[in-house]
Amino acid sequence: MVDLVGIVEEVQERQDITTKAGEQKKYQKIVVKDETGSIVVTFWGEDTEKLNVKEGDLVSLTSFLVKDFNGKSLNCTRSS
């Protein structure tokens, strides 16, 4: 788990996917930049409803899971 403080560079639209198990899930991605570079952060399910950020906002993200999917990304967990 990692913590990150940075500036929101991009907010993508909320989207739906169907999992391999046939479940419908919502997700939304934002791109956050700090002094080391940029990273994609993915929010899932109910967390997409709580996400209220816009480009240029300063955000503090805690307890995010690091995933390697087409390069590094962060995933919101229930404890985030």
Cα–Cα distance measured from residue 29 to residue 1, given in angstroms and rounded to the nearest whole number: 18
Architecture of the domain whose range is 2-75: Beta Barrel (2.40)
Q: In which element (H, E) is residue 48 found?
A: helix 46-50
- Minimal CA–CA distance to 6: which of 55, 56, 59, 62? 59
The per-residue pLDDT for 72 is 67
Q: What is the chain's pLDDT, residue by residue, as a tens digit (80 residues)?
A: 888 899 999 999 999 999 899 999 999 999 999 999 999 899 999 999 999 999 999 999 888 878 776 666 777 765 44
User: So what's the pLDDT on residue 78?
Assistant: 52
- Supply the pLDDT for residue 2: 84
Cα 13 to Cα 3, 29, 38: the distances in Å are 24, 8, 18
